[in-house]
Structure 1
Amino acid sequence: MKFKQLLNQKNMGILGAILGSTLFSMTLLPMAGIAESKPNPNLESNRGDRESTIAQFRTGPRDNLDRPVALLRSQNMPVEITLVNNTNDRITYQVIGDTDERLISEGGTATVRRIDIPVTVTFVRSSSAALLQVEPEVIGPGEIRLNLDETSRLDRDVTAMRIDETGEVYLY
């Protein structure tokens, strides 16, 4: 008798909603299990690094952010940094602790001289959603050129360069 009461027209919509949502939920459970069962090789936490407690994506060509991309021999002298804007966009840069924010126009060049190391330089395109690729080029003792180019690859996007006290150059 109770079963017949459940099947009346009034309760049919409620019963359909309950059964439908149950079936829908059951199809999602196996998908969630599959998605979690494959470890991502790009996450440091999957590699068992004890030093990294937070999973961080490694970035393609810059696989090891602790590896320098260049060595600038400055013989304990101030350095000269030239930024070459090869984009069709203005770039804002700042030598942290030495300059305020400055602009380089499209296709322009800027040089900062007599900069003591260690030093950090930050840069961003004026259309902030646009990505920036940086190719460092050591010109001579204490001189480095940063070629700033457009990229569509997120793994190549760079927003800062650091020269440490030994002259090693890092991109971040």
Structure 2
Amino acid sequence: MAIGGTLKRLGIVAATFGGLVIASFAQLVPAQAQTGVGDNDQPESLQELQPVPSNDGDRAARLRTLQQGVLIRNAATQSPASSGIPSTSTVSPISPAQEQEAAIAVVKPVGNQLSSVSLTNDTGTTVTYQVIGDTTRRMLMMDESAMLQGIPLPATITVVRQDEGLVGISATSSEDGMLEISLTPEIALDDTQGVIRIQEDGQVFVN
């Protein structure tokens, strides 16, 4: 009887211990299933932190859009010259040539020259004169005259006052091949100073 009672108590203890072990294992497995991480899974918090990979097609499309925007903006700000496009500038019409100044005298040449040209100095001071290419510089005192003969045409005569004043020039012709030039003081400055031009046809111009 004593041995049987002992075995009965051992069976009860073993059953109780086995139940506790099974209960503990059952609680451990669900906890691992809830908190465990698989080989191919990541925690939800880590998944949220990782960047989402971008699509290559979307990146290329955005790049093309940016490039097109830059090209359009540059085209709007560039001038025609810098962009290589010829500009259509307004060309002003050419103004008609100014009429030639009227001759102060006309003399009929004899052949291709003037037989005589007289210079009378009424400027009140000494002047120097020269037929370019034909005579040297010469002085003409005030109230005196000089006679030049056989002047080939065309001819240019320069006249300068010794006091650097202005010279008024007038000319007349009373006979063929003869020209009389009078030199007077000039007050107003204009574009007819000091140079007498005689053309081949006998027209006389100043400057």
Whether TM-score is above 0.5 comes out as yes
Deviation at 1:156, TM superposition (A): 7.1
Structure number with the higher helix fraction is 2
Letter matched to residue 73 of structure 1: K
2:181 maps to 146
Letter matched to residue 190 of structure 2: D
Greater relative CO, 1 or 2 (CA 8 Å, sep 6+): 1
Q: Aligned ranges for residues 108-127 of structure 1 at < 5 Å?
A: 108-127=144-163
2:197 pairs with one of 143, 162, 170: 162
1:93 maps to 129
147-156 vs 83-92, greater mean Cα deviation:
147-156
User: Partners of 1:84 and 1:50 in 2: how far apart?
Assistant: 38
1:68 maps to 103
Deviation at 1:153, TM superposition (A): 1.1
User: Partners of 1:114 and 1:95 in 2: how far apart?
Assistant: 11
3-state secondary structure, aligned to 2:153 = coil
| Equivalent residue pairs, number | 113
Gaps of 5+ in 1: 1-47, 53-63
What TM-score comes out, normalization by structure 2 length?
0.51
Q: Does 1:81 align with 2:104?
A: no
Deviations 1:112-155 (A, max 9, x none): 10111100000010011x11101111121011111100021113
User: Partners of 1:83 and 1:73 in 2: how far apart?
Assistant: 18
User: Partners of 2:100 and 2:140 in 1: how far apart?
Assistant: 26
Deviation at 1:77, TM superposition (A): 4.6
What TM-score comes out, normalization by structure 1 length?
0.60
Question: Greater Rg, structure 1 or structure 2?
Answer: 2
1:17 maps to none
**Which aligned runs of 4 or more in structure 1 are off by greater than 6 angstroms?**
none
Gaps of 5+ in 2: 1-93
Structure number with the higher strand fraction is 1
Letter matched to residue 138 of structure 1: S
1:103 maps to 139
User: Partners of 2:159 and 2:183 in 1: how far apart?
Assistant: 9
User: Partners of 1:77 and 1:90 in 2: how far apart?
Assistant: 31
User: Partners of 2:184 and 2:200 in 1: how far apart?
Assistant: 27
% identity of equivalent residues? 27
1:118 and 1:165 in contact (8 A); partners too: yes
User: Partners of 1:153 and 1:77 in 2: how far apart?
Assistant: 35
2:76 maps to none
1:77 and 1:142 in contact (8 A); partners too: no
User: Partners of 2:202 and 2:185 in 1: how far apart?
Assistant: 26
